[in-house]
Amino acid sequence: RRQRQMCIRDSVTLAGNVIVGDNTEIGMGANVIQGITIGTNTVIGAGSVVVRDVEDHCKAAGVPAKAFR
């Protein structure tokens, strides 16, 4: 059986239909725009604004958030 783990910190804004993958961490104060997909094993930096989909196994940070491996 697969275990789903997700860590979403305080003050995170997820607007509308946001899909968050397994083993994902979203830092405090991050904002995710409606309709975004965040892949599995992904880390979103604190205070980031995610305006594009983030692939699996990536880290993303900044305003707007840019993904890097």
Tell me how far apart the alpha carbons of residues 2 and 63 are, in angstroms, rounded to a whole number.
33
Question: What is the residue whose two structure tokens read 């995610």?
Answer: 50
From residue 69, alpha-carbon distances to 4, 16, 21, 29, 51 in Å are 22, 27, 16, 22, 18
Q: Strand 49-50 vs strand 66-68: parallel, antiparallel, or unpaired?
A: unpaired
Matching residue, tokens 């910190």: 9
**pLDDT digit string (tens) for 7-32?**
776 788 888 889 999 899 999 999 99
Residue 6, classed as helix, strand or coil, is strand
- pLDDT tens digits for range 33-65: 999 999 999 999 999 999 999 999 999 999 999
